[in-house]
Amino acid sequence: MRLSTWLMALAAAATGSVAVAQPIQQTVNDWRDAFRQLEDEDWPTPNNERRATGAPGHDYWQQQVDYDIDIHLNERTKVLTGSETITYTNNAPDSLDYLWFQLDQNRFRADSIANMTATVGGGGRSSARTGAALPDRISANALRRLDRIQNDGYGHNITAVLDADGNPLEHTIVDTLMRIDLPETLTTGESVTFQIDWNYRLIETQVVGGRAGWECFEDDYENGDCIYQIAQWFPRAVAFTDYEGWTNKAFLGRGEFTLEFGDYDVAITVPQDFIVSASGELQNPEDVLTDEQIERLDEARTADEPVFVVTPDEARENERLGSRSEATWEFRAENVRDFAWAGSRKFIWDAVGVEQDGQGDAPDLVMAMSFYPNESEPLWSSFSTRAVEHTIDVYNEFAFPYPYPTAQSVAGPQGGMEYPMITFNGGTYGRPVVDSDGNLTYSRAAKRGLIGVIIHEIGHIYFPMVVNSDERQWTWMDEGLNSFLQFQAERLWEEDYPVRRGDPHSITSYMVSETQMPIMTQSDSILNFGANAYSKPTIALVVLRETVLGRELFDEAFRTYAERWRFKRPTPYDFFRTMEEVSGVDLDWYWRGWFYSTDHVDISIDSVVEGTFDTENPEIENERERAEFLERPESVTQRRNREQGRGYYADENGEVLDFYSRNDQFTTTNRERERYESTQDDLTDWQRDLLASDDYLYYLTFSNQGGVVMPVIVEFTFADNTTERVYIPAEIWRYNPEQAVWTYLSEKEVVSVELDPDWETADADRSDNYYPPRIQPSRLEVYRSSTSPRPNMMGDLDLTVSSDSLTTTEAQD
C-alpha cells in the first residue's frame, strides 16, 4: 500500500440553493462504554466511615467482643461442653436492643437450611450422578453422610443464656443464628457482660465434611488414637457493620465468616496425655509440658532450624500408654477475630523462631510451629514449619509484619482451614503412602499439595484474619487476594515450582465456560467455587501487577490497602479505590471486565497493512509500480500458450505495434515530471524529508473477541530477525471496545506479528494471535476400535448348545 502525504485543500462553492430542515433521525447501535465509571453506579457513595480514597474515614468504627471460655472434650462420647462469658462493647453510633450470635454447628442439623436446600449437581456437594432424566446412582460416601446427618443429632445445644447476675436472658434460635434480647438498651460506648452454656457432638470430618471434627487412625499398623481439630465450636458474635448492620445471613457451608475482634482467655480440658495447639500463647506450660519440653521450646526460639518440642518417640509413647486423667491447657489470644484449637496424643511438635522487623505492635520474633502424627512423616518434619517460615517472609514483604506471636500448622482430617495463629492443613493427601511391605513413599503431588496448602492457610492469617473482610459476602476478598500472595510465595520457593493457580493461561478454560460467574457473586451461589473465588481473582491480580500497572505501582498500592485495613473490615470498594488512588491509574474498566462480567480475554489480530511513503516523484513511483506489477504471477493461459509453442499475432504482423506497444502504463511522461517539479517548490524541508523517507507505516486491525478490554501486547519480528515488543494501553478500546485500528511506524520491514507472546493476559484463543496466521499443531493419538462383548446369558450360566439340536445342556466339569 502506497501512502500519499500530499494534503489537498477542498474549496466549497456556494450554490445559492435554499437549505431545508430535515427531521432528526434517531440512531440505534450496540455500542458500550467499557470505560464507564463505577462511582455512584455500582459502588456505594463514600461517607465518613469509608472515604472515596479507599481509606477508613474519621468516623470509622467496629465492635469489640471479648471471650472467657472453659471447654471440655469427652474423648469417649466425642462431645464438647463449654461455658463462655462474653463482654460486648458497642462502638457503633446505633443503640442495640438485641445481639446476634452464630451457631455454626447447626448447619449439620437435619432440618437446617443448608441440608434442606441441598441439591444434586449444584455448586456444592453432589451426591448423585446427573445428566440423565433422573439421577441413577448415589455414592456410598454420600449415603453414609446423609445417614449421619439424619440420625446422629448434630448441632449446638444451648443449655443457658444468663446475664451477669445469673438471670436468664430471652433468646431465639433461627437456623445457624441466635438472637439474645438485652434487658436494657446498649447505647454507644457501653458494654454488657453475659454467659452462654452449650454442648454439641463433634462430627467425623471425613464422613460428614465441614471445617472441623475428628479423625481416628484404625488401620492395622495404627492403634485407633484420634486427632481433634476444633473450629466454629462456640457461639460467636455476628458482625455488626456500618455497611449492612447485622450480617445475619445463615451459614450454608460455603460462605464463611465475618467476625468481630476481641481478646480471648480459653481453658481447654482434655486427656492428660494430649498435646494441644491453639490460637494465642500457652499460659501454663509448667502444668502441661515436661521440663525438657519447655527447654526445647525455649531453644527453638533462637535455633537455625526447627527443633522437636515433642519428639516422634514421645508421640509414639503417648499413643502406647494412653491416660484416663485430664489436664487443662490455658491460652490467651489478643486482638483476634476467632479462636480454634486442636488436640491429640499422637502429635509430634516442632518449632523455630522467625525474626522479623516488628513495626508497631508486631513482635520481633514469631514462633513457627507444626503439630502432626508419625503417619505424616517424613513430609511434615521436612516441609511444614519451613513453609510457615517462608510464608511469613513473603507476606511481610507484600503486606505488613506478621502481627501475632505464633503461627501454627496442624495436621489432621481437615484439608485446609485457617484461624488466628493456627491452621489445619493437609488432610490425608499430606501424608506418605504405606505399601504392603510397610515402606513409606510420597508423590510429587503430595509434596506440592502440602507446601501449597500450608502457604495458603498461613497466608489467611493476614487475609482475612487481620484484614477482616466479609467472607460470607465476598469470598474473593480473602481467597483471591490470599491465593495471589500464595502464588508469589510458591514462585519464590524453588525454580519451576508446580503451582496450582496463578499463571494467566491456566484460567482461560473457565473464562470461556458456561459455568463462569462474576467474581462479585455471593459465595453460596457460585457454581465453580475454586475457579471463581480463587483462581480468577488470583490471575486478575497477577495480570494487574505484571502487565497493567507494573510491579512498583501495584506493590505500593497493595501494601497501602493491607496496612490501611489491618485489624479493620474492608469492602471490595475500599480495595478498588485504594488501588486506583495510590497507583494513579483509573482501573474501572479492569474491575468491570474481570470482576463484574462473565466476558473473557480474546484479542485477535485481523489484518496488517504495510504502507511505504509515496515520494510523488514519477521516476521513482512508476518504476516501483512496474516492479510490483511484474511480481504478479503470469496469466496461466498466456504461460501455457507459450509452453505449447503458440505465437502472437503481433509478432507476425508488426504493423499492429504502436506507441503503446512499446511503452507500458508505467512509462513516465513529461507532464508528470512537470507536475512533480511544480509541487516541490511549495514543500518545506521537513515535508521533503518525509517524502524521501524509507520508513514503513503499518496499520494493524485488532478485534476484541472476548469482551474484556485489555492492553494489547504486540511483538514485531523484522526482516533482519530482530524483534520489538510494544505495550498498547487498554485505552485503545475507548472509542470502540470491539475493534481498533492502530498505526506503527518502523525503519525496518516487519515480517510477522504476534499478540501476547508471553501468555500474560489470559487470552483464551491464541490461534488468532499471529499475523500471518500459523498452522495450529495437534497431537493425534492412534487407537484401535474396540467393542464390548454382547451380553450372553447362556455363557454366563455356563450352558452349552447341542450340535444336533437347539436344546441346551449344562456344561460338564
Out of 127-141, 151-165, 179-193, 674-688, pick the least confident.
Answer: 127-141
pLDDT at residue 428, as a whole number: 67
Q: Calculate what percentage of the chain has a pLDDT beyond 70.
A: 91
Out of 240-244, 556-560, 678-682, pick the least confident.
Answer: 678-682
Better pLDDT: 320 or 675: 675
The arithmetic mean of pLDDT across residues 215-230, rounded, is: 78
Q: Residue type for 69, please?
A: I
**Is residue 124 over pLDDT 70?**
no
pLDDT at residue 791, as a whole number: 79
**Is residue 231 over pLDDT 50?**
yes
The arithmetic mean of pLDDT across residues 95-111, rounded, is: 95
State which H helix or E strand residue 396 sits in. Answer: helix 379-398
The arithmetic mean of pLDDT across residues 359-380, rounded, is: 93
Q: Which of 319, 322, 341, 338 is nearest to 330 (CA)?
A: 341
Which of helix, strand or coil describes residue 743? Answer: strand
> Can you tell me the distance from the alpha carbon of 462 to that of 566, in angstroms, rounded to the nearest whole number?
8
Grid cell of 503 as nine digits: 499463571
Q: Calculate what percentage of the chain has a pLDDT beyond 90.
A: 72
Torsion of CA 75, 80, 83, 89, to 10 degrees: 130
pLDDT at residue 233, as a whole number: 97
Grid cell of 221 as nine digits: 499398623
The arithmetic mean of pLDDT across residues 530-557, rounded, is: 97
pLDDT at residue 129, as a whole number: 41
Out of 25-29, 310-314, 388-392, 525-529, pick the least confident.
Answer: 25-29
Confidence of residue 122 (pLDDT cuts 50, 70, 90): low
Question: Phi and psi for 419 in degrees, rounded to 5?
Answer: -150, 170
pLDDT at residue 269, as a whole number: 98
> Can you tell me the distance from the alpha carbon of 751 to that of 28, in angstroms, rounded to the nearest whole number?
40
The arithmetic mean of pLDDT across residues 189-193, rounded, is: 98
**Is residue 274 over pLDDT 50?**
yes
Grid cell of 47 as nine digits: 461517607
**Is residue 350 over pLDDT 90?**
yes
> Can you tell me the distance from the alpha carbon of 717 to that of 750, in angstroms, rounded to the nearest whole number?
6
Is the C-alpha dihedral spanning 300, 303, 305, 311 positive or negative? negative
Question: What single string gives the DSSP state of each residue in 632-656?
Answer: SPPPHHHHHHHHTT---HHHH-GGG
Averaging pLDDT over each range in 28-37, 282-291, 644-653, which range is the top one? Answer: 282-291
> Can you tell me the distance from the alpha carbon of 252 to that of 270, in angstroms, rounded to the nearest whole number?
30
The reply to whether the predicted model has a pTM over 0.75 is yes
Is the C-alpha dihedral spanning 284, 290, 291, 292 positive or negative? negative
Is the C-alpha dihedral spanning 786, 787, 788, 793 positive or negative? negative
Residues 690-699 pLDDT 10s: 777 888 999 9
Look over the chain and give the mean of its residue pLDDT values, rounded to a whole number: 90
> Can you tell me the distance from the alpha carbon of 77 to that of 652, in angstroms, rounded to the nearest whole number?
117
**Is residue 303 over pLDDT 70?**
yes
- Strand arrangement of the beta sheet that strand 750-755 belongs to: 723-728, 712-718, 750-755, 770-771
Which of helix, strand or coil describes residue 428? Answer: helix
**Is residue 612 over pLDDT 90?**
no
Q: Which of 618, 626, 628, 557 is nearest to 590 (CA)?
A: 557
Residues 421-475 pLDDT 10s: 999 997 766 788 877 787 888 988 899 999 999 999 999 999 999 999 999 999 9
Q: Name every residue whose Cβ is closer than 8 Å to that of residue 552 and which is 6 or more positions away in sequence.
A: none
Torsion of CA 418, 423, 429, 430, to 10 degrees: 150
Beta bridge partners of 524: none
Question: Phi and psi for 466 in degrees, rounded to 5?
Answer: -110, -55
Residues 734-788 pLDDT 10s: 999 999 999 999 999 999 999 999 999 999 999 999 999 999 888 888 877 766 6
Q: Which of 571, 566, 387, 593 is nearest to 494 (CA)?
A: 387
Question: What single string gives the DSSP state of each residue in 231-300?
Answer: -S-S-EEPPEETTTEE------SSS-----BEEEEEEEEEETT-EEEESSEES-HHHHS-HHHHHHHHHH
Residues 400-419 pLDDT 10s: 999 999 999 999 988 899 99
Q: Residue type for 489, please?
A: A
Better pLDDT: 219 or 138: 138
Q: Which of 207, 203, 200, 176 is nearest to 107 (CA)?
A: 176
The arithmetic mean of pLDDT across residues 560-584, rounded, is: 98
Burial class (CB in 10 A: 0-12, 13-18, 19+), 431: buried
Confidence of residue 790 (pLDDT cuts 50, 70, 90): confident
The arithmetic mean of pLDDT across residues 211-235, rounded, is: 84
**Is residue 340 over pLDDT 50?**
yes
Better pLDDT: 752 or 807: 752
| Centroid of chain to Cα 199 | 37
CA geometry: angle 138, 141, 142, nearest 5 deg: 50
pLDDT at residue 778, as a whole number: 83
pLDDT at residue 131, as a whole number: 47
Question: What single string gives the DSSP state of each residue in 107-122?
Answer: GGSTTSHHHHT--TTS
Confidence of residue 804 (pLDDT cuts 50, 70, 90): low
